Amino acid sequence: MTSFLKKTMLYLGLGSDEDFQELHDHGSAPKAGAPPAPQTSGVSTVRPIPKSEDTGQSRLANAVRTIAPPKVSKPCVVTPVRFSDVKEISEAIKRRQPVIVNIQQADHEVAVRVIDFCSGLKVGIDGGFVKAGDDVFLLTPKDVEVSDEERQRLGGSVSV
């Protein structure tokens, strides 16, 4: 009987051809007591899924889901002076509320960081981020619209 290591070496092709032939002659012969393959009776127990008569589609494909219309919300106005004020922006977005970000009073470095944060937040929520005026931006969550009244109040430059 061949050892496990020798069988492995032969399987990987690391042994001699004579050893491989010897293993093939002794190791792969079918056993005398092997049971015969089961015979099939020809009767199938598999049933096809019935198709609807009019379209040819299965019953499972007829499930219809309604999609809710976009929600109209009044925006929250945030005027960050320090970068730590972006917490208000993220909390409003968690409530699925649009946010008007006014960075007119922030230092240039803080304003750049706030804009970068809002840009990343926009990508994370699959929302919108548009410029509404000089140093004023509108951040909206996915499927949330700003009312026409609020758009007019922003100067009409926002199109979401």
pLDDT at 54 over 60: no
Q: What six digits make up the tokens of 17?
A: 């051809």
The average pLDDT across 62-69 equals 66
Dihedral class, residue 117 (left if φ above 0, else alpha if ψ from -120 to 50, else beta):
alpha
Q: What's the N-to-C CA distance of the chain in angstroms?
A: 78
- Predicted pLDDT at 52: 61
**pLDDT cut 90: percent of the chain above it:** 18
**pLDDT cut 70: percent of the chain above it:** 58
Q: Is 90 exposed, middle or buried (0-12, 13-18, 19+ CB in 10 A)?
A: middle
pLDDT at 58 over 60: no
CATH 3.40.50.720 assigned to domain 74-153? The reply is no
pTM score, whole prediction: 0.50
Could you report the per-residue pLDDT of 80-117, keeping only the tens digit for each? Answer: 999 999 999 999 988 888 889 999 999 999 999 999 99
The average pLDDT across 11-26 equals 68
Of the candidate ranges 90-94, 116-120, 123-127, 151-155, the one whose mean pLDDT is the lowest = 151-155
> Could you state, in order of their start, the residue ranges of all structural domains in the chain?
1-28, 74-153
Among 139, 29, 22, CA closest to 158: 139
